[in-house]
Structure 1
Amino acid sequence: MIRNSKLIIFSVLITITTILSIFCTVKKPIPSEEVKSSFDTQLLKLQSVVDHNLLPAVEKKDEKAIKASFLLSRAEYKKMEYYIEYFFPSTSSLLNGAPIDEIELGENLIEEPTGFQVMEELIYTSPSPESYHHLLNEVRKMQINLKRVARFNEQYEITDAQIFDAIRLEIFRITSLGITGFDTPSALQSLPEAAAALTGIQEVLKNYNATAELLTPVKTAIIHLNKTTDFNSLDRMAFITDHLQPISNGIAQLRKKLNVSTTSSGSALHDNATSLFQKDAFNINKFVGNYTEYISKEKIALGKLLFNSTILSNGGNRSCASCHHEGKAFTDGLTAAPGLNGNKFLLRNTPTLTYAGLQRGFFYDLKAGSLEDQALDVVHHKDEMDGSLTEATKRINNNKTYLKAFNIAFNDSTRTANPWKIQHALASYIRSLTPFSSRFDKYMQGDKKQLNPEEKAGFNLFMGKAKCGSCHFAPLFNGTQAPLFLKSEAEVLGVPAHADTANAQIDKDLGRFTLSPYPQYKYAFKTTTLRNVAKTAPYMHNGIYKTLEEVLDFYNRGGGAGIGIALDNQTLSPSPLNLSKKEIHEIISFLKTLDDQ
């Protein structure tokens, strides 16, 4: 009986212990859910600042309070930038998009800009009754868009892989845009706002139990930015190499340690890239429409053969290489190339083809959406090659050497050439012209002997005081914006017809306006790459400037506005840069380090 009682008591104890273990077990937090919850809390904080600080300040027209609450609002936004840019890209452009009209050509739509950057222009210019009214409308639109984010976020299920990708891309965003003044040209709050963005990343890493080995560098970078009170004094090159790149590497190591996979985010970078400046950062295939346009060694070889051959021109007297000389970074050194058979000169300067594959629009007026389309246009243009891809196909299919090269490159059942294959082979060759072999690249990849103090000073000016990096985005130094590289920009600079600063007249070339007659596009031209720029003189779409010194002088004066050309739609800031001769020399010294070796 006693034995049975003991068994009963023992069984009851086991049962109670089991029940307690079930109900008292603390549920282990899921990091991705914690990040999402933290975002909701942070979003409420931003909404509160907008509702209770910014809105009343604008309603009272209190300039001091407006500026203070505006800066506080955007600092709160920057802490969440990694999340909003990644999960709500369309809404992010309404919250902090560029202050220029967005034109949807296919739909004939013009969307006026809205958000923080529009507010900044209104706040940091001379106030007027009209500007206060406009600012009040902007604040109210901001309230609506923040509510939209909150509503969308309720429906989202996010993964660890997405979060790690989001903070990886935010490091790249800070590198290329955040420390350049790109989205705060008037307030010049890039450095504290970059610190705020890093603070947001820091909080994410804490949710993933990051060790001091990673958190300390983040904290150190934040302190460094907050201590640097002068926008122009930050050593941006050192900040990137000594702070941002090690942080990015640390994030990648933590991801691997936690067995979190990479994910495809839509960026044109490889999904596992840890630096914008590593040699293999870009996935060239992400710049094409679909897998049928993927690059291969065989296509490149065929494209190079066609590029240097006259077989594509009906007269058999001109090749692509006639105007794009490899020794001059695939330019020709002329103001404009002569037309076929020495006829009239072509409309515009011959641009470099190096790194052309890493952009989203082609020709100075962005009339072609792909390199394949560009090849079609050039071959058929009566003043360039005066050719026909259909006729060229016939000639190729009757030539055993060319036909063999096509068979190797495409290896399909037809075993013949066709116009599309010609276009694609040429495009593949041009896409291969991305060596990233300059002294600048080698320095950013760790070889600190490559650059001297003058060249490093030039980079810091380029990315800071001179504001070059806010249009020529690192690391491509063209108008294709990091970190997604989804769109190539055009700018209205006010380029003159002649290199005359006393009696300057706007060049008659209307740029994008000729094909798409929107007022915003008048005199707009693609922002070309500055890689190999020392080899590609003369400069601008019309080749008007023979030296980099002349180009820098133009920008230093404020573009066209600075030499007396009044354009309502100039997108380049009309304010003088106030660069000294020494600073201009340093910038040019840096630009020369972008030449491939």
Structure 2
Amino acid sequence: MTNNFQKIQKTHVIMCLFLVSIISCKQEKTTSYTKVDNKALVAKVEEYYSHHIDSCIALLEEIKTVDEVSEKIKKYKLARRAFKLIEPILAFTDKENYKSLNAPNILKVEEEDATDIKIRNPFGFQVIEELLHEDKVDVIKIKKTVKVTVNRLKLIRANNTLYLKKYHVLWLLRDQIARVALVGITGFDSPIMRQSLKEAKANYKTMLFIINTYKNEFSKERLYTVWLNELQATQKMLQKADFKSFNRYIFIKKHAHKQLDLLTKTAKDWKVEFPLTMAFNNNITSFFSKETLNINFFNDYHQLENAMSEEKKALGKKLFNDKNLSKNGIMSCATCHNKDKAFTDGLAVFPKQKRNTPTLPYAAYQQTFFYDGRAGSLEGQIVGVVENKNEFHTNLENLTETVKKDSVYTKSFASLYGKVTDFNIRNAIANYIRGLGNFSSKFDKNINQKENTLTISEINGFNLFMGKAKCATCHFPPVFNGTVPPNFTETEVESIGVPSLKGTELDDDLGAYNLFKTEERKYFFKTSTVRNVSKTSPYMHNGVYKTLEEVVDFYNKGGGQGLGYHVPNQTLPPDKLNLSKKEINDLIAFMEALTDE
């Protein structure tokens, strides 16, 4: 009996070992790496960071020591590459200094209020790049700009202690993937030399360094290996790329989005818990999805209970369409914002209004409102509509009383807000507007690999939009408006020199100048979204252009300055784009593919 028991026991052990072997084969292979203390990992990143800051400073200093402009340019390229190696870390840990060092060569105007207006001259790499390529190179000005740039880098170097937890590392990587895909590959910060793709390769070298540094954090060896292969393949694609012919559509679809997916898997593998959500939702796998952006990041009042509930949106929709809210009962929000025209009205300018009616889908994804940026929230913009004598022609007190007289409204507000107040009315309307825009266009579906219906012309148009045509240097994806990724804290205003309705002179609307009478803000207007542009004709703040062909022709000629107008501080380069007829058609085809269902 003992022998039989031993045989049974032996057989049981063999079966268990067999089952374990089967299960092990089916499971992901795990790493046997030794965990490293987080402080040691951060110290390694900090050492890398410091080394390349030092290299950047030294190379910039050398620009002043060589005489030949061609030699200065060579030194600049090397310094710029060193800067791009530190960019993923610097841009995440010191956003303001990064922005200053990488700012475009235009005046920086900061307007807190009428008593606090600052005009700052730009410095940094873009300024040096343009100075080096002027017809008559100003050596003294170059030395001064280099000196200011070096001093700022030295300040950063002296205060470069990093405090990075694992979720910071994932955010840092995500932000840089976004910075390259949504801004970098457009040529935004290399306007003359167009070194953006080679510089993006340097960005990816740093990302690869970071992944290697955190190698021991991976429990799944295969995930780490996939990261290495993906980052190396991305560098290879960028290395071979030509700025004009680079397929940005494929780059984002096949690489950037794959990297976002890897980040999501890495967060799970590293058991990372994010303490909060920034502009991008955590665990995104696409830049062009309704789940990509955190709407609460753009909403000052998201802390309200059930801030974006469907019930509040429904209440807001009803208010949006209610003419009784205006003084004479003849106008509602929907009077000017027709949903069939992407919430515009099809007019150059609505009667008695000064400017063209803007589209509302995706309006929530910006930091300022109205063409001149005079409102800081949707709730604030609604005040302007209520009090405008050519719109609702009333005030907040009367608006509130009108709503209180309606028993259905009173009951809804009691249930959703507690009571009727002017803010609650405005918040309900604003929440309805925040729900408009669902990233359901043909372009979105294709870049997200939900369908394969984009034509060659539409893909070429996207690549032109993001490259040669320079559209995306102002109309930033994914919303294609003026809110700058990856931080989304600033919505740009631009001066492009829009003609008057006569088409023979500069339009006399001074735009953002009217807020604080800042001379440097004359003719500046907020950059609108290009999404649904096929439905929002006519175009520009005054509705001067009826067709997209006319709009593209305006940009193709260099804006107002290209047309011969005197446009002080024009931010649009006055150079001709030299787009061919086919390229113009492709560009328009892409923009039309941004129409939501």
Q: Same fold (TM over 0.5)?
A: yes
**TM superposition shift of 1:511:** 0.6
Paired residue secondary structure (1:331): coil
Which residue matches 1:257?
A: 269
Confirm whether residue 388 of structure 1 aligns to residue 401 of structure 2.
no
- Considering only aligned residues, what root-mean-square deviation do their CA atoms show, in Å? 1.8
**TM superposition shift of 1:90:** 1.4
Q: Which aligned pairs between 1:469-548 and structure 2 lie closer than 5 A? A: 469-498=472-501, 500=503, 504-548=504-548
Which residue matches 1:578?
A: 578
Partners of 2:43 and 2:437 in 1: how far apart?
Answer: 39
Q: Identity of paired residues, percent?
A: 39
Amino acid at match of 1:212: T
Which residue matches 2:311?
A: 298
Work out whether residues 491 and 526 of structure 2, in 8 Å CA contact, stay in contact via their aligned partners in 1: yes
**TM superposition shift of 1:117:** 1.3
Amino acid at match of 1:74: R
Partners of 1:450 and 1:273 in 2: how far apart?
Answer: 24
Q: Deviations over 1:346-382 (max 9, x none)?
A: 1000010111011111110001011001001101100
Moved more, 119-128 or 567-576: 119-128
Which 5+ residue runs of structure 1 have no aligned equivalent? 1-25, 339-344
Q: Which aligned pairs between 1:268-417 and structure 2 lie closer than 5 A? A: 268-292=279-303, 294-338=307-351, 345-410=352-417, 412=418, 416-417=419-420
Q: Which aligned pairs between 1:125-144 and structure 2 lie closer than 5 A? A: 125-128=134-137, 131-144=138-151
Paired residue secondary structure (1:110): strand
Select the residue among 202, 210, 235 that pairs with 1:222.
235
Partners of 2:118 and 2:226 in 1: how far apart?
Answer: 50
Work out whether residues 302 and 409 of structure 1, in 8 Å CA contact, stay in contact via their aligned partners in 2: no
Which residue matches 2:27?
A: none
Which 5+ residue runs of structure 2 have no aligned equivalent? 1-32, 216-222
Amino acid at match of 2:292: A
**TM superposition shift of 1:450:** 2.9
**TM superposition shift of 1:516:** 2.3
Confirm whether residue 202 of structure 1 aligns to residue 213 of structure 2.
no
* Inter-CA distance 49–90: structure 2 relative to 1 (3 Å threshold): closer
Which residue matches 2:442?
A: 439
Partners of 1:49 and 1:480 in 2: how far apart?
Answer: 29
**TM superposition shift of 1:138:** 1.9
Partners of 2:258 and 2:444 in 1: how far apart?
Answer: 17
| Number of aligned residue pairs | 553
Moved more, 54-63 or 134-143: 54-63
Which residue matches 1:564?
A: 564
Which residue matches 1:86?
A: 92
**TM superposition shift of 1:494:** 0.5
Which residue matches 1:237?
A: 249
Select the residue among 211, 231, 235 that pairs with 2:224.
211
Partners of 2:145 and 2:393 in 1: how far apart?
Answer: 52
**TM superposition shift of 1:147:** 2.0
* Inter-CA distance 70–32: structure 2 relative to 1 (3 Å threshold): farther
Partners of 2:56 and 2:235 in 1: how far apart?
Answer: 22
Partners of 1:487 and 1:101 in 2: how far apart?
Answer: 16
Amino acid at match of 1:211: Y
Which residue matches 2:171?
A: 165
Work out whether residues 511 and 524 of structure 1, in 8 Å CA contact, stay in contact via their aligned partners in 2: yes
Partners of 2:263 and 2:38 in 1: how far apart?
Answer: 15
**TM superposition shift of 1:191:** 0.4
**TM superposition shift of 1:303:** 0.8
Work out whether residues 441 and 596 of structure 2, in 8 Å CA contact, stay in contact via their aligned partners in 1: yes
Paired residue secondary structure (2:324): coil
Partners of 2:57 and 2:157 in 1: how far apart?
Answer: 14
User: So what's the TM-score if we normalise by structure 2?
Assistant: 0.89
Which residue matches 1:7?
A: none
Partners of 1:309 and 1:233 in 2: how far apart?
Answer: 51
Q: Which aligned pairs between 1:1-20 and structure 2 lie closer than 5 A? A: none
Partners of 1:264 and 1:115 in 2: how far apart?
Answer: 32
Confirm whether residue 450 of structure 1 aligns to residue 457 of structure 2.
no
* Inter-CA distance 27–227: structure 2 relative to 1 (3 Å threshold): closer
**TM superposition shift of 1:460:** 0.5
Select the residue among 156, 160, 184 that pairs with 1:153.
160
* Inter-CA distance 280–45: structure 2 relative to 1 (3 Å threshold): closer
**TM superposition shift of 1:552:** 0.2
Partners of 2:52 and 2:100 in 1: how far apart?
Answer: 19
Which residue matches 1:6?
A: none
Partners of 1:312 and 1:110 in 2: how far apart?
Answer: 41
Select the residue among 123, 131, 137 that pairs with 2:132.
123
Paired residue secondary structure (1:200): helix
Moved more, 35-44 or 538-547: 35-44
Moved more, 207-216 or 373-382: 207-216
**TM superposition shift of 1:486:** 0.7
Partners of 2:179 and 2:468 in 1: how far apart?
Answer: 19
Q: Deviations over 1:220-258 (max 9, x none)?
A: 110111111x21110000011111211221132123212
User: So what's the TM-score if we normalise by structure 1?
Assistant: 0.89
Q: Deviations over 1:312-338 (max 9, x none)?
A: 111111101111101000000001001
Confirm whether residue 112 of structure 1 aligns to residue 117 of structure 2.
no
Partners of 1:32 and 1:558 in 2: how far apart?
Answer: 52
Partners of 1:290 and 1:272 in 2: how far apart?
Answer: 24
Amino acid at match of 1:449: N
Partners of 2:497 and 2:577 in 1: how far apart?
Answer: 16
Partners of 2:517 and 2:428 in 1: how far apart?
Answer: 33
Amino acid at match of 2:234: A
Partners of 1:517 and 1:474 in 2: how far apart?
Answer: 31
Work out whether residues 263 and 271 of structure 1, in 8 Å CA contact, stay in contact via their aligned partners in 2: no
**TM superposition shift of 1:185:** 0.8
**TM superposition shift of 1:514:** 1.4
Q: Deviations over 1:469-524 (max 9, x none)?
A: 11000000000011111111111000111364xxx310010111112222221101
* Inter-CA distance 61–567: structure 2 relative to 1 (3 Å threshold): farther
Moved more, 54-63 or 439-448: 54-63
Partners of 1:393 and 1:167 in 2: how far apart?
Answer: 47
**TM superposition shift of 1:79:** 1.7
Which residue matches 2:430?
A: 427
Amino acid at match of 2:249: M
**TM superposition shift of 1:448:** 3.9
Which residue matches 1:8?
A: none
* Inter-CA distance 515–89: structure 2 relative to 1 (3 Å threshold): same
Amino acid at match of 1:428: N
